[in-house]
Amino acid sequence: MASFHAVTSYSSRIFPPNIKEWKPKKIYQSQCPAFPLRQLPPLFRTGLTSRLGAETSNNRVSASLADVSLDVSLETNQLPGGGTWSIHKFGGTCVGSSQRIKNVAEIILNDDSERKLVIVSAMSKVTDMMYDLIYKAQSRDESYISALDAVLEKHRSTAHDLLDGDALASFLSRLHHDISNLKAMLRAIYIAGHATESFTDFVVGHGELWSAQMLSSVVRKNRIDCKWMDTREVLIVNPTSSNQVDPDFLESEQRLERWYSKNPSKTIIATGFIASTPQNIPTTLKRDGSDFSAAIMAALVRARQVTIWTDVDGVYSADPRKVSEAVILKTLSYQEAWEMSYFGANVLHPRTIIPVMRYNIPIIIRNIFNLSAPGTKICQASVIVDEDKQNLKSFVKGFATIDNVALINVEGTGMAGVPGTSDAIFSTVKDVGANVIMISQASSEHSVCFAVPENEVKAVAMALESRFHQALDAGRLSQVAVIPNCSILAAVGQKMASTPGVSATIFNALAKANINVRAIAQGCSEYNVTVVVKREDCIKALQAVHSRFYYSRTTIAMGIIGHGLIGATLLEQLNDQAAVLKEEFNIDLRVMGIINSRSMLLSKLGIDLSRWKELEKDTGEVADLEEFVRHVHGNHFIPNTVLVDCTADSVVAGHYYDWLQKGIHVITPNKKANSGPLDQYLRLRDLQRQSYTHYFYEATVGAGLPIISTLRGLLETGDRILQIEGIFSGTLSYIFNNFKGGRVFSEVVAEAKEAGYTEPDPRDDLSGTDVARKVIILARESGLKLELADIPVKSLVPEPLRASASPQEFMQQLPKFDQDLTKQQQSAEDAGEVLRYVGVVDVINQKGTVELRRYKKDHPFAQLSGSDNIIAFTTRRYKNQPLIVRGPGAGAQVTAGGIFSDILRLASYLGAPS
C-alpha cells in the first residue's frame, strides 16, 4: 500500500499578492508513481487537507491511501476553470414575466460558450413585495396574509405559463412549501412586532430562489442539462459596519467546489443577491447584490467574461434623462466605471467591479430588449488604450451629477500651518455621521471646503461651530459658512487630467454657458475632475460640457422674435441649411420658439421649420414675451440660448440688457438699442465686455455687409479711424442711382415704392432717420459718445408733407415739391457730378452728419447701381486710399443672411469648428 506526504500552506489574506497566479502550494513525496493531490476530487481534497492539518504540526503529514476510499468517478466532477465559463446576470426586469423568462432561456441556449453560469434576480417588483410583507407583519397589519397570497399567485401563474408535467408539479410543491414556511415566520414577526435582519434577509431572498428554479426548468425543457444553485450554499460573506458585506473568497471557492462535485453541469442557474454568513445564517449582498453575485462567481471560476443584462443599450455618456443626446459608450475602464458609478451614473456599484478587476475579467452591459446593440465593455485600461484613438473624446468618457448637496467652507487665517486642523474638522463630521462627498483645499491652507448631502449640512455646521467656538470667538477662524442648493458635476475619463487642454475645455464650456463654479476637486488618479455648481445650473452645466466634449457639436436654443419679411426669410434660410450645418459643421441650431406681436409658437425639442406657419395656426398661443424667453432659455437640455430680434421695436430692444444678464446671447438687425440713449448703450456694452454672453448686430448697418466687423478689426489691430463715410440706405441708394436723365424725384420714389425698396411709408426712408441711426452706431463703435440728437440730418421730406395723414396722401402731394431737388440734380449734372445721400462719421472732429452731397462721376460713390451700399473707411493705415466695403445693403435676403452670419459666428465662439 502506497503512502505519501503533503505539505500545504495557505495565505491568511483573502487576496494574496499576485492573486491571479496564486494557488495553494503543495509538495508531494510518494513511494508510488506520481499521484498529485490536486487530481483528487474537490470534496475529498478539501476534507483531506483540513483533517491532516489538524492532526500534525507544520502541516506535515503521513497517511495511507487506505485511510480514504477513492471514488475515481468524482475526478470528472472537478470544477473546471481557465476561462471556460461565461457568466450571465439577468435583473428583475429581464425575468419580470413568463415571456421574458422564455426570452432569457433563449439567450442562454444561444450562447455557444463551453460552460454557462447564470445569475438571476427575483421577478420585477417581487423583492419590494417581500420587503412589504416584513413591514406589514411587524406593523401588525394583517393584510400581510393577502399580500403573501399575491406573491404566491404571481409565481404560480408564471409557472403554469412556463412549465408542465413533473417540472410544474415539482416547482409548485416547493413553492407551496416555501409559502407555508414564510407564513409561519411572518406570523411570528407579527406577534413579536419586530423582524431581525436575519429574518428579513431570509424572507426577501425567496424571490431569487423561485426565479432560478423556474428558469432552470425552462432550460431543461429544451433538453439541456441544467442545475440550479441556491447560492446560500456557496457564497460566504462577512457583514461590515457600513451595511455592506465582504466576500470570503477562499471559503466560497471551497464550497463551490464541493457543490459542483455533487451537481456537475455545463449550465448552472444560480440565485443572485443572497448568500450566507460563516455561521450559515442566510443574508443578502445588499444594494446591487445580484450584480455583485455575478462578479463574485466570475472571480471564483475565473470566467471568460460577465454579461450584465438590463433594459438599456449600455452605459451612457451622461444621464439620458438630462442630456437627450447622450451616447452609448463602447468601452470603459474599470476605474472609469468605478468613478461614474460613485457619482450616481447607472453603471455598476463599485463593489461589483472589484472581484472581476483582480482577474481582468471583462463585464459587458447589454440590453435584453435590443439584442442588436453591442453594449458597453468594461475592462482593463490597457485594452481600451489600444482600441481608442488618442483624442480628447477618448480621454473624457462620461459625465455624472449628484444633486441636493451643500458646501461647507471652514475659513480663517489661523488655520494656515496649524497641524491637526483638517483632522479636527473631519473627525467632527464623522462624529455627526455625515458623508463627505468631495473635499477642496487650497495650498495656502486658509480654508477647507467640502460637500455633504444637504439633509446633513445643518447638523454638520452646528457641530463644527461647537467644536471650533473658541477659535471663532478668538478670530482664528473667521467663519463656518454653508452654501446650500448645490450640485456636483464630475467629468470622468482615462488619464484625462494628464492630457493638455481637457480641464481648460471643461471650464471654458462652463464659462461660455455662463455657469459659475463654486468649488473644484481633482484627484491625482487622473480619472476625475469634479466641480460644484448651483443646483439650478446643474443640468445646463451637464449639457454644456457634454455637448462641448462628446460630439464636438454646438447646440444652440434659438428664439426668433418677429416673423415679418426679414424674420420669415431667416427661418427659411435656417430650414435650408440646418441639415448641412449639423452634418458637415457640427452645429445644431434649434428654434425653440417664434413670436410676433400677436402669437407665439413654442416647442421643447425644436420647431419643424418646414411647416412653422402651419404649426403656428394649429398650436400657436397668445404672445407673451416674458413666457417666450423663459421657455427658450429654460430648456436645460441645451446649454446655449440666443434670442434673435428681427423687429425694429424699441420695447423689445429695451430687454437686451436683462437677457444678456441672464446669460442669453442676443443677435439683431434692430438699430434701436445701439442708437438709443447713450447711457443705455454704454451700460449694454459694459455688460457684454464683462461676461461671456455675446451681443452681435452686424446687420444693423449695411444688412449683410461686413461693416461692423471690419470696423472692429481695424480698431482691434491698432488702427485709428479718421472718418467713415458711406451710402447706408439701400432705398436712397436706389433712388439717387436712378434720379437722372431728366427724371423727377417723385417719379423715382414711386418706382422704388412699387418695387418694394421703401418702407410702407416712404417718409421713414426719406427722413434720413434710419441713416442717422447707422451713423450713431458707427460713431459709438469708433469711440464717440454721441446722442442721436447730436446728428444734423438733411430730411428729404418737404416740410409741409411731414404731417400728411397717410402714405397715400404723401405720395399724391410729393410731385408739387420736385422743383428744388430737380435744380440740385441738374446743377450737379452740369458740373459732372452726381447727388448722393450719405452719412459721415468725423472722428477727428467728433461729430456726425447726414446730408446730400455731390461727387465726381469717377468717385466710387458715383459708381453704384441698384440698391447697393458703399462705405469708405479713412484710417491712419488707409489714409490716402480709403478701405471700401461695397455690396447689397437692403433686402430681406441679404439682411437675413447678415443675421445668419452672426448666428454662425456665435456658434464658432461657443466651440464649433471655425
Residue 389 phi, psi dihedral angles, 5° rounding = -75, 150
Check whether 148 has a pLDDT greater than 60: yes
Between 468-472, 673-677, 820-824, the lowest mean confidence (pLDDT) is in 468-472
Residue 787: pLDDT band with limits 50, 70, 90: very high
Q: What would the mean pLDDT of 486-499 be, rounded to a whole number?
A: 84
User: Over pLDDT 70: what percentage of the chain?
Assistant: 87
Span 570-588, pLDDT tens digits: 999 999 998 899 888 888 8
CA distances from 524 to 357, 397, 497, 527, 528 (A): 20, 17, 8, 8, 9
Check whether 663 has a pLDDT greater than 50: yes
What pLDDT does residue 325 have?
A: 79
Q: What gap in Å lies between CA 77 and CA 98, rounded to an integer?
A: 33
Q: What gap in Å lies between CA 791 and CA 775, rounded to an integer?
A: 8
What pLDDT does residue 54 have?
A: 36
What pLDDT does residue 193 have?
A: 93
Q: Are residues 355 and 298 in contact, defined by beta-carbon separation less than 8 angstroms?
A: yes
Where do the H-state alpha helices sit in 139-270?
144-162, 165-192, 197-204, 206-221, 249-262
Span 12-32, pLDDT tens digits: 333 333 333 333 333 333 333
Check whether 602 has a pLDDT greater than 60: yes
Check whether 147 has a pLDDT greater than 80: yes
Q: Which amino acid is at 616?
A: E
Q: What gap in Å lies between CA 307 and CA 363, rounded to an integer?
A: 6
What pLDDT does residue 15 have?
A: 35
Residue 897: pLDDT band with limits 50, 70, 90: very high
Instruction: Kindly give, in sequence order, each residue whose CB lies less than 8 Å from that of residue 522, ignoring residues fewer than 6 positions away.
Output: 497, 503, 528, 529, 530
Q: 870 - beta bridge partners? A: 727, 886
Check whether 804 has a pLDDT greater than 70: yes
Q: What gap in Å lies between CA 136 and CA 151, rounded to an integer?
A: 14
User: Over pLDDT 90: what percentage of the chain?
Assistant: 65
Q: 333 - beta bridge partners? A: 379
Among the listed residues 136, 540, 753, 774, the single catalytic one is 774
Q: Assign residue 270 a region: left if phi > 0, alpha if psi is -120 to 50, beta otherwise?
A: beta
Record the cell numbers describing residue 307, joined without a space.
Answer: 454579461
Span 640-658, pLDDT tens digits: 899 999 999 999 999 999 9
Instruction: Kindly give, in sequence order, each residue whose CB lies less than 8 Å from that of residue 677, ignoring residues fewer than 6 positions away.
Output: 787
Between 181-185, 278-282, 343-347, 854-858, the lowest mean confidence (pLDDT) is in 343-347
How many CB atoms lie under 10 A from the CB of residue 147? Answer: 19
Q: Are residues 696 and 902 in contact, defined by beta-carbon separation less than 8 angstroms?
A: yes
- Whole-number mean pLDDT of the chain? 86
Check whether 275 has a pLDDT greater than 60: yes
Record the cell numbers describing residue 361, joined without a space.
Answer: 475579467
Between 45-54, 268-277, 681-690, the lowest mean confidence (pLDDT) is in 45-54
What pLDDT does residue 13 have?
A: 30
Check whether 497 has a pLDDT greater than 90: no
* Class of residue 180 by CB neighbours under 10 A (exposed 0-12, middle 13-18, buried 19+): exposed
Residue 36: pLDDT band with limits 50, 70, 90: very low
- Give, for 509, the enclosing helix (H) or strand (E): helix 502-512
Instruction: Kindly give, in sequence order, each residue whose CB lies less than 8 Å from that of residue 322, ignoring residues fewer than 6 positions away.
Output: 401, 539, 542, 543, 636, 637
- Give, for 424, the enclosing helix (H) or strand (E): helix 421-432
Active site includes 774?
yes
Record the cell numbers describing residue 109, joined without a space.
Answer: 441556449
Q: What would the mean pLDDT of 850-874 be, rounded to a whole number?
A: 93
- Give, for 710, the enclosing helix (H) or strand (E): helix 707-716
Q: Are residues 693 and 667 in contact, defined by beta-carbon separation less than 8 angstroms?
A: no
Check whether 42 has a pLDDT greater than 60: no
Q: What would the mean pLDDT of 791-799 be, rounded to a whole number?
A: 95
If we measure between CA atoms, which residue out of 743, 732, 724, 766 comes closest to residue 867? 732
Span 364-416, pLDDT tens digits: 999 999 999 999 999 987 666 555 444 445 678 889 899 999 999 998 876 76
Q: Which amino acid is at 695?
A: Y
Check whether 634 has a pLDDT greater than 70: yes
Span 718-754, pLDDT tens digits: 999 999 999 999 899 999 999 998 899 999 999 999 8
Q: Can you state the angle between helices 144-162 and 206-221, rounded to 10 degrees?
A: 10
Q: Are residues 787 and 773 in contact, defined by beta-carbon separation less than 8 angstroms?
A: no
CA distances from 174 to 96, 125, 214, 753, 905 (A): 20, 21, 11, 93, 71
